[in-house]
Amino acid sequence: MTIAPASLTEVAPTGGPGAVAFHRTRILHLPRSPKVIAGLVILGLFGVVAVIGRWAAPYSPNATDEKNWVRHVLVDGTGPGTAFPANYYPLPLPPSAAHWLGTTVFAQDALSQVLASTQATLFVGLLAAAIATVLSILFGVTAGYVGGGTDEGLSLVANVFLAIPGLPLLIVLADYVPSAGSSILLVAAIIAVTTWAYSARTLRAQTLSLRNRDFVEAARVSGESRLRIILVEVLPNLVPIVAASFLFTTLSAIGAYVAIAFLGLAGSPTSSPPGLWNWGEMLREGFANNAVRGGWWWWWAPPGIAVAMLGTGLALLNFGIDEFINPRLRAGGLSRKAARKAGISTSTRLGLTPVAHSIRNAPEPASKVDSANAAEPVLEIRGLCVDYGVGDEAVHAVMDCDLVLRRGQVLGLAGESGSGKTTLALSAIRLLRPPGVITAGQVLFHSRPISGDGPTGTIDLLAAGQQQLREVRWSEIAVVLQSALDSLNPVITIGAQFDDLLRVHRPHFSEAERWSRAGELLEMVGMNADRLRSYPHELSGGMRQRAMIAMAIALEPQVIILDEPTTALDVVTQREILEELIGLRDRIGFATLFITHDLSLLVELADEIAVMYAGRLMERAPAASLFHAPRLPYTHGLLHCFPPLHGARVSMEGIPGSPPDLRDLPSGCAFHPRCRWAMQQCREERPRLLPIDGSSREVACWLHRGDAVVPAELARPEPAAKGLVLAEAVKQAGDL
């Protein structure tokens, strides 16, 4: 195992969920979901009642309605005929016009009590939460940022508080502190002391991950003082978490206040000195006077409901913050309503890219026979369009792309980040997750299994059902992604993962056969068969990627899609893996769609290269032609972005500007703002991908249309047929 020192200095390189989410938004930007709005409305109502409730109440909460208080019940065993004097049991009044929520047994108006109680309850909740939040920031952020012994000490204190059961401690404290009953400030302080520790731990963990983030390090390198780093650089990034924990603490503080008031420890309005009305007190009086057994719901239910409603409001708002902190929680992709309106079937299950209805019944055009490039196509993508989202907000990530992958061929798909290359490949086999939606096009898989009992014949992958896709995926079309660590199951061994795969797809294999086949596969990618007993985390990045490739070839698929398979690896490992891959291709004969941003690598590896820019295919040519004689200005620029390893060192310019934003594409040709040969036409009209006269290569550029003058850089002669010969040889190998 090798260790990257960079990752060692970063205690939590992945960060918490909170640490990663902020690059898109400001400090706290709540999503406008119905949940959040409902939460805000509820909290707003309680806020208004808390402020004006005492004065808006129809009666004083202590006032007794002497006039109506006439209903009494004789207590059993007292009064006439018994040895005891008559003892009357007061009966509360049910809801009426005078008392909307009836009265208590003391003929006090229940509604007035609920309204008057809101203030103290909310006040104690918010004050306790504020104190607890300040405590948790002090402890958590200090512990997390300073680290070392301070961290251990402060964490110990927090852990002790966490370990003590909260409510008993609260009861003991509230009972022990003599004047607790009369002072809500003291009550709030006691609640805060018992609730801060949980948030402190969360904040400590977040600070720990922020502490070693580059921007904090940059502030340190620029000589910023420690206090300023904490206050100005770290703390604003914690705002969503502080807000979430504040709401959570408010909720638990209200719960705690109601609980101790219910136990009679928070002071009663009737005691001396008098406490304040609160919902816990209402419940206590109700329960003490048989409100539940007497069926006098109007007395005990309203305060209970109020607590529940307030809790709901706080929780709903917290959902909103949660969604902000962790965007993955947001509506798992497409909203059903919006999708249906746009004619997209969302009935499909997980792991199946939705397809717009309109293209379901598209007639199948006759397969073009391309005489220049006669190897049999295995995967044909025609006019594929993919959006993210639907309706007006849809981002067109892939537009009108045609791509033909032939048997045994390595087809390179090059482009910068955001150019749509991964979207194109993943949606073609419908692995793209919603909100990705295929809006047009056709993907034909001409299946002719190399081994096993896969389906034969042409399958329209966009029209295929779950079952049909399952037959094709992995066994006929396999995918290797950039991060093998995310693709391998971390909790079972490599061998067990092979075993699972082979058990499903090669049911006639015995266990021993499966194991030996798995070992064979590992050896094919240059690994020792012993590695079957390893867990993914025990392997280096290169080994994991090799294991992934071994798994991809395990069922001898016809197509392997490789999405930046070596980008995260070192150059030496990269070359070893590519060599092995080419060797396997020659042996098994699968076709490869190789996606990468590294055009210089593709030139060495691919037979044919397609270049994508801003969601469209812009040039397609045999690798050698593309390298020696690019026709597209973008390709030309991209090729001059890789400094050479030989020859004189000359200044290179790269491509000016930066890749466009897909939500706001330039008019005409998307590349024109960065193109040094841009003409008026390029700004107005979008060029289509069309063949250049007399060759099989295609380019989408006005410079090669009509009577435009082609710059010398884009008119270099086609190279000698070396590359083509190679492609030819490969095709023959594939045909065999």
Partner 1 sequence: MNGTAPMETPATPAPAVLEGRELTKSFWMRQARGPLARKARVHAVEAVTVRLEAGKVTALVGESGAGKTTIARMLAKIVKPDAGEVLLDGAPAPKGRPRSYAAKVQMVFQDPFASLNPVHRVRHQLVRPLKIHHVADGDVDQAAEELLRRVALEPAAHFLNKFPYELSGGQRQRVAIARALAVRPRVLLADEPVSMLDVSIRLGVLNLLADLRDREQLAILYVTHDIASARYLADTIVVMYAGQLVEAAPSESLTDHAAHPYTQLLLSAAPDPEREETPRLAGRGAPPSLLAPPSGCRFHPRCPHAMDICQRQVPPSFAVSPDHIAACWLHAGSAERGAGDNGLFRPVANHSINPKHLESIKR
Residues that bind partner 1 (CB under 8 A): 1-6, 8-9, 22-27, 213-224, 232-233, 236-237, 239, 416-417, 540, 542-543, 570-576, 579, 597-601, 603-604, 627, 637-638, 641-646, 649, 651-656, 658-659, 674
HEC letters along 463-492: CCCHHHHHHHECCCEEEECCCHHHHCCCCC
- Looking at the Cβ atoms of 19 and 316, the one nearer to partner 1 is 19
Question: CA 584 → CA 412, 458, 577, 654, distances in Å?
Answer: 17, 25, 10, 35
DSSP state of 566: T
Q: Which two tokens stand for residue 91?
A: 């009966």
Q: How far is the CB of 727 from partner 1 (least distance, A)?
A: 15
Q: How far is the CB of 573 from partner 1 (least distance, A)?
A: 6
DSSP SS3 for 223 = coil
Q: How far is the CB of 13 from partner 1 (least distance, A)?
A: 10
- Looking at the Cβ atoms of 194 and 545, the one nearer to partner 1 is 545
Residue 414: name the closest of 658, 613, 701, 640 by CA.
Answer: 613
| Helix, strand, coil percentages for the chain (3-state, nearest 5) | 50, 10, 40
Tokens 């204190």 correspond to 157
Distance CA(164)–CA(168), nearest Å, equals 8
- Looking at the Cβ atoms of 221 and 712, the one nearer to partner 1 is 221
Q: How far is the CB of 303 from partner 1 (least distance, A)?
A: 41
Distance CA(692)–CA(366), nearest Å, equals 23
- Looking at the Cβ atoms of 158 and 404, the one nearer to partner 1 is 158
Q: How many CA atoms lie within 13 A of 630 on its CB side?
A: 18
Check: CB of residue 162 under 8 Å from CB of residue 201.
yes
Residue 29: name the closest of 251, 337, 232, 330 by CA.
Answer: 330
- Looking at the Cβ atoms of 163 and 709, the one nearer to partner 1 is 163
Helix count and strand count (H, E) for the chain: 25, 14
- Looking at the Cβ atoms of 657 and 691, the one nearer to partner 1 is 657
Positive/negative CA dihedral, 51, 56, 60, 62: negative
Q: How far is the CB of 505 from partner 1 (least distance, A)?
A: 31
In this structure, the number of other CB atoms found within 10 A of the CB of residue 710 comes to: 14
Q: How far is the CB of 429 from partner 1 (least distance, A)?
A: 26
DSSP SS3 for 687 = coil
- Looking at the Cβ atoms of 517 and 597, the one nearer to partner 1 is 597
Q: How far is the CB of 222 from partner 1 (least distance, A)?
A: 4
- Looking at the Cβ atoms of 189 and 582, the one nearer to partner 1 is 582
- Looking at the Cβ atoms of 220 and 448, the one nearer to partner 1 is 220
Q: How far is the CB of 208 from partner 1 (least distance, A)?
A: 15
Q: Which two tokens stand for residue 409?
A: 């061929």
Residue 565, by phi and psi: left (phi above 0), alpha (psi -120 to 50) or beta?
alpha
Tokens 């203030």 correspond to 119
- Looking at the Cβ atoms of 65 and 598, the one nearer to partner 1 is 598
Q: How many CA atoms lie within 13 A of 325 on its CB side?
A: 21
HEC letters along 658-683: CCCCCCCCCCCCCCHHHCCCCCHHHH
Q: How far is the CB of 280 from partner 1 (least distance, A)?
A: 39
Distance CA(21)–CA(29), nearest Å, equals 11
- Looking at the Cβ atoms of 514 and 697, the one nearer to partner 1 is 697
Q: How far is the CB of 428 from partner 1 (least distance, A)?
A: 24
- Looking at the Cβ atoms of 302 and 415, the one nearer to partner 1 is 415
Check: CB of residue 384 under 8 Å from CB of residue 441.
yes
Strands 698-699 and 690-691: antiparallel
**DSSP for 527-557?**
--GGGGGS-GGGS-HHHHHHHHHHHHHTT--
Residue 618: name the closest of 373, 324, 421 by CA.
Answer: 421
- Looking at the Cβ atoms of 380 and 563, the one nearer to partner 1 is 563
Q: Residue 350 CA to chain centroid, in angstroms?
A: 15
Residue 445: name the closest of 345, 587, 561, 353 by CA.
Answer: 561
Check: CB of residue 66 under 8 Å from CB of residue 358.
no
Q: How far is the CB of 710 from partner 1 (least distance, A)?
A: 22
Q: How far is the CB of 622 from partner 1 (least distance, A)?
A: 13
- Looking at the Cβ atoms of 5 and 717, the one nearer to partner 1 is 5
Q: How far is the CB of 604 from partner 1 (least distance, A)?
A: 6
Q: How far is the CB of 587 from partner 1 (least distance, A)?
A: 17
